[in-house]
Structure 1
Amino acid sequence: MTFKNMLPLFAALLMVSCQQEQAEQAEKQKPNILFILADDLGYHDLSCMGSDYYETPNIDRIANEGMVFTNGYATCQVCSPSRASLMSGKFPARHGITDWIGAKTGEAWREAGRFNKLLPPENKDHLEHEYTTLPEAMKEAGYTTFFAGKWHLGGEGSYPEDHGFDINQGGFEQGGPYTGGYYSPFNNPKMEDHEDEVGMSLSMKLAKETAKFITDNKDTTFFAYLSFYAVHSPIQTSKEKWSKYRQKAEEAGIAETGFKMAHFLPIRQEQDNPVYAGLVETMDDAVGHVLQTLDELGLDDNTIVIFTSDNGGVSAGDAFATSNLPLRGGKGYQYEGGILEPYFIKTPFLDNAGKTSDAPVTGTDFYPTLLELIGAELKPEEHADGVSLVPLLTGGTIEERPLIWHYPHYGNQGGEPSSIIRRGEWKLIHYYEDGREELYNLEEDLEENHDVAAENSELAGRLSEQLFAYLDEVGALYPKKDPMYDPAKEQEYLDRVRNVRMPALEKQRMEFLSRDFDPGNQWWGSDVGN
């Protein structure tokens, strides 16, 4: 074959090469994604969300450079259900994980010694494998996927790597940092400890693993999911950060009391816990490390960054760590303090930095939103309870739709078995103990102090019908009356909580604020070698 005859072949090969290069370039131009999920962080637990006690400049940066959704919700008031919703795009009543995985249900609930009226229904113990999860959808779109931190969506066979993540650092069945605490060694079976990590916080460890993944994959398109164990109990911090926040609380004036009794448990009224404040700032430091990595690699302008929390701040139960006021309640509660969250989406290629949206949005919306942002085909059969928020991110609107919560459990924090529907400014709560329903206008009464169901009975009835039409359609399970319920025993329990536990909490609060407080274990391992 002469050179002249070979020219068409060379031209064809050159064209194929150019087309392949263009395709690779187009693939690389798709935005990277960094999804940051805090655990148990309340709506007002960030300085950018109104706290004058906690300091969070790095998370504030995400809010300032992105869009803040002021009516952003978790899909449940406790962790596992809302985490399953983030992965699946489905409300808890649909995917069947309605309480934290491992919680007692049915007659086993009596073992909690709470003497309640109802027995909670069955709760699924893992995320279903037949779902196409968000990370699996990202893999289909050509993304390398990474998970770091808390999983709590099932045990062996239902870990992050079983649901679409290429790499898993630290995710297994436990819902808190129970194996090693917040300072090294972490003793996490899904994460390797290193000698140079002595005194390192768990939050920074997860951040460094995330930063390493981003660095290793800077030339690919990646989906990094950083799911902090913080700020879940047990709350721990360094002496330096405790001292900073103890002094800050003292300078602001320490209230004589910090708790008041709610229905089942005392509930915290003050943001003045220096141990918790240090834990919050330590998580913020870790966020800063990852953001700095994006900056140094020149990836900031092409990386979507999301920040949110899985449920409200813990004002009762667990570590009784924070106050969500003026919001009512906290983690585990049916009120706004249990479900309203920091909810930020940074899209550097869209002109929305520093803007806000007051449209009610929720955790199931991230799945379709991210698919649309990367130009992938939506999967409405998967993210059945979510809608894309791209219209809001680009200055438009979305159609009003009902948001549904289903928590037929008592839990550990003092909330009541209930289901909720929010539509527009109206929020209706149905209680399973006695069938009563409360109605709140959240635009006028975000604190939920004024139940207006009686004067809006027709509206309340329509919302209730819509709520149960959805619950019945998806096969939601409901609690049942406990035939062994004894009101006298329940009252004895509540009296002990009021007369014994609440004074103990007040004592602990003042110990944390004492100038000579020392946990007696080298500050949970943060002060080893000093």
Structure 2
Amino acid sequence: MNQASLRPNIVFVLIDDLGWADLGCYGSTFYETPHLDRLAAAGARFTDAYAAAPVCSPTRASIMSGKYPARVGVTQWIGGHAVGRLRDVPYFRELPMEEYSLARALRDGGYQTWHVGKWHLGERRTWPDRHGFDVNVGGCGLGHPPSYVSPYGIPTLPDGPPGEYLTDRLTDEAIKLVENAGEQPFFLNLWHYAVHTPIQAPEDLVGRYEQKAKTLGLDEIDAIKPGEPMPTWHQRHQHVQRRVVQSDPGYAAMVENLDANIGRLLDALDRTGKADNTLVVFTSDNGGLATSEGSPTCNAPLAEGKGWMYDGGLRVPLIVRWPGTVEPNNVLPDLVTSPDFYPTFLDAAGIPRPAQMHELDGQSILAALTEGHAEDRPIFWHYPHYGNQGGTPGAAIREGDWKLVRFFEDNHIELYNLVDDIAETHDLADTKPGVAARLNAKLGHWLEDVQARIPAPNPVSAYADLPG
């Protein structure tokens, strides 16, 4: 066996908008995810893993760069713009070409590099093939598919037969790559478009979940509660719509289809004899969509969802399987953030840290995976924008059990002990002033270090007589 074959293959599965509570192994009783539950039982499941942002593009940029979104400059979902009490701030609308991407580092280290699925990190000049991927299937500037049913309308994915389902097709493409990989180690970057809107799922599965909702009495529950007006001017005639229970049959069907496709990919690794030498990582780019745009899921017990600085928008599932290296049935409480994948994968591959990796924010979690505990450190967020979900611009820090959020509209802070109060219902900023001051100071120093852009007050107000 040559030295290259001893290096692990890396399969990194990133799901779009999958909530922390959307898997059976994370507590869902409505969605059915047997394959992902088995994956978790065969490896490690992290309870306190986070995306680097509450929306997609910044998190994706952090994975590819190993840096916080604020340092890269991609702080908003690419194409997004909104104002309210605050003006918007500029951001890079592509992953800068000068970033030495994770794919480049792995390719330079001897890996085959394949991207399959969503990219959303810029237009043609910054697609995956320009950032170190040998193969690009489905990656382009789109943030979501025009359709999950062929014809897809994705410029980098030829349409399949009428009625073909996108998640099935992307998994087929990934399996083909695995089956034809040969002996050279590979990095499969499988970034599914699911479970982002539009909520479109195989009809037979939808019908099954409609019946399940009736059996459980969920169809009798008022699942969505109208809330306060949206803070963005273009949505000011709308209200936040909070889903309080997981009961949407279409979304549940998308989750089950996704789970089945992950199972097919795992079967392919088994069938080709590659499973024992493959590091598999499964996670999401932000929290579940729970407060607008149909509010298809609920992140309870976490607060809010995608687009918010509360944990429903930031905390994500993270499952890692690496036979012979990661013990099965591991439940790990270590703090993990998406820039950590870059150094972790290089360490797993035995690739030295390249000189281009200056200002790296990620920290390898290999020690957590192999020894059960990683070095304690704070993690940070900076989202200086309004999204489309009702959240407002802010920044945050988590250190140990504590999380502090600074909201830029009025610069007030909120402090939570996430072990005692996972739902972030009891603000302790006034009762724990010392902790609040310490974390707020650390957050301020970090914002200075990454040269974070802070939104300024809007000099004009919305006009009631104008639409939108």
TM (norm. structure 1) is 0.83
Query: What's the offset of the Cα at 1:394?
Result: 1.3
Whether the aligned pair in 2 keeps the contact of 1:161 and 1:167 (CA below 8 Å) is: yes
Whether the aligned pair in 2 keeps the contact of 1:39 and 1:228 (CA below 8 Å) is: yes
Query: What's the offset of the Cα at 1:187?
Result: 2.8
Q: Distance in 1 between matches of 2:126 and 2:369?
A: 33
Q: Distance in 2 between matches of 1:238 and 1:423?
A: 42
Aligned to 1:184: 150
Amino acid across the alignment from 2:348: L
Deviates more, 1:415-424 or 1:280-289: 280-289
Query: What's the offset of the Cα at 1:317?
Result: 2.1
Pick from 226, 231, 234 the counterpart of residue 261 of structure 1.
226
Pick from 151, 171, 175 the counterpart of residue 207 of structure 1.
171
Whether the aligned pair in 1 keeps the contact of 2:332 and 2:372 (CA below 8 Å) is: no
More helix by share: 1
Q: Distance in 2 between matches of 1:27 and 1:476?
A: 41
Aligned to 1:441: 417
Q: Distance in 2 between matches of 1:351 and 1:471?
A: 35
Aligned to 2:236: none
Name the % identity. Answer: 41
Whether the aligned pair in 2 keeps the contact of 1:131 and 1:382 (CA below 8 Å) is: no
Q: Distance in 2 between matches of 1:218 and 1:280?
A: 31
Aligned to 2:361: 385
Q: Distance in 2 between matches of 1:368 and 1:227?
A: 19
With over 3 angstroms needed to count, the CA separation of the structure-2 counterparts of 1:351 and 1:325, relative to structure 1, is: closer
Q: Distance in 1 between matches of 2:345 and 2:12?
A: 10
In the alignment, structure 1 segments of 5+ residues that lack a partner are 1-21, 111-115, 497-530
Question: Which string of whole-angstrom CA distances, capped at 9 and with x for unpartnered residues, describes residues 121-178 of structure 1?
Answer: 0121000111111111110110000001100000010000010110000000010011
Aligned to 2:196: 232
Aligned to 2:88: 120
Pick from 246, 270, 291 the counterpart of residue 295 of structure 1.
270
Query: What's the offset of the Cα at 1:351?
Result: 4.3
Bigger Cα Rg: 1
Amino acid across the alignment from 1:240: D
Whether the aligned pair in 2 keeps the contact of 1:132 and 1:382 (CA below 8 Å) is: no
Q: Distance in 1 between matches of 2:42 and 2:305?
A: 28
Aligned to 2:129: 161
1:29 aligns with 2:18: no
Q: Distance in 1 between matches of 2:125 and 2:293?
A: 28
Whether the aligned pair in 2 keeps the contact of 1:204 and 1:285 (CA below 8 Å) is: no
SS in 2 for 1:469: helix
Q: Distance in 2 between matches of 1:479 and 1:244?
A: 46
Query: What's the offset of the Cα at 1:330?
Result: 0.4
Aligned to 1:142: 110
Whether the aligned pair in 2 keeps the contact of 1:301 and 1:349 (CA below 8 Å) is: yes
Query: What's the offset of the Cα at 1:232?
Result: 0.3
Q: Distance in 2 between matches of 1:256 and 1:279?
A: 21
Question: Which string of whole-angstrom CA distances, capped at 9 and with x for unpartnered residues, describes residues 384-407 of structure 1?
Answer: 111111111112422221111001
SS in 1 for 2:280: strand
Query: What's the offset of the Cα at 1:383?
Result: 6.7
Aligned to 2:30: 53
SS in 2 for 1:462: helix
Pick from 213, 223, 232 the counterpart of residue 249 of structure 1.
213
SS in 2 for 1:343: strand
Aligned to 1:100: 77
1:329 aligns with 2:304: yes
SS in 2 for 1:142: coil
SS in 1 for 2:12: strand
Q: Distance in 1 between matches of 2:416 and 2:49?
A: 17
Q: Distance in 2 between matches of 1:298 and 1:374?
A: 19
State how 1:463-474 maps to structure 2 within 5 Å: 463-474=439-450
State how 1:489-528 maps to structure 2 within 5 Å: 489=464
Aligned to 1:481: 457
With over 3 angstroms needed to count, the CA separation of the structure-2 counterparts of 1:382 and 1:59, relative to structure 1, is: farther
Q: Distance in 1 between matches of 2:365 and 2:102?
A: 16
Whether the aligned pair in 1 keeps the contact of 2:55 and 2:286 (CA below 8 Å) is: yes
SS in 2 for 1:481: coil
Q: Distance in 1 between matches of 2:345 and 2:444?
A: 30
1:347 aligns with 2:322: yes
Whether the aligned pair in 2 keeps the contact of 1:62 and 1:307 (CA below 8 Å) is: no
Question: Which string of whole-angstrom CA distances, capped at 9 and with x for unpartnered residues, describes residues 357-384 of structure 1?
Answer: 1011111111111111111113483571
SS in 1 for 2:54: coil
1:274 aligns with 2:249: yes
Query: What's the offset of the Cα at 1:318?
Result: 2.6
Aligned to 1:370: 345
Whether the aligned pair in 2 keeps the contact of 1:207 and 1:286 (CA below 8 Å) is: yes
Q: Distance in 1 between matches of 2:319 and 2:419?
A: 21
In the alignment, structure 2 segments of 5+ residues that lack a partner are 231-239
